[in-house]
Structure 1
C-alpha cells in the first residue's frame, strides 16, 4: 500500500517535470521571433539546459525503477524462502494496526 502511494507520487512528480520541460520548449519556440545575439544565446542556453534536464530525468527514472524492482525481487525471495515467518510478521503487523485503529 505504501509502495502504491509512493509510486503514484513519483508518477505525479515525473508527469509534472515532463510538463515543465514541454512548456519550456514551447516558450523557446515562441521566443524564436526575438532578434539579436543575446536572444540567440539565451535560446541556446535554454535548449542545452532542457537537454540536460531530460537526460537527468531519464537516468533518475531508470535508477528508481531498478531500485524498486530490486526491492520487489528481494521481498518476493524472502517470502518464498520463509513463508511461515512472513505470515507471522503479516499477522503481527495486522494485529498492531487493529489495536491502533480501535484506540481512536
Structure 2
C-alpha cells in the first residue's frame, strides 16, 4: 500500500510561517492564520495517530503546529501592546511619537 500525504500538511506549515511573518500587522492577520493552522494541525494529528502507517508529512504538521503556537503568542502580545498604546497615548500621541522619530532619523542622516 502506497503512503499518502497528510491532508493540509503543507498548508499548516505555510500558515504557521505566515502567522509569525505577519505579527507586526497588529495581530489582525497573523492571529487568525495561527489559529487556523493550529486547528488544522490538531485534525491532521488525530488522523495520523489513527493510522500512521498510511500517511507521510507528519513532520510538516508538527513544525507548522509549533510555528502556529509561536505566531499566536507573538500576535497576541503585539495586539495587547497596540490596544494598550491606543488606550493610554491615543492616536494623536502615536502620531507625535512618529513625527519625533522621523525628525531623529532625518537629523541623523544629515550629519
With normalisation by structure 2, the TM-score equals 0.44
Higher RCO (CA-CA < 8 Å; seq separation 6+) = 2
Which structure has the greater CA radius of gyration?
1
With normalisation by structure 1, the TM-score equals 0.47
Q: Structure 1 or 2: larger helix share?
A: 1
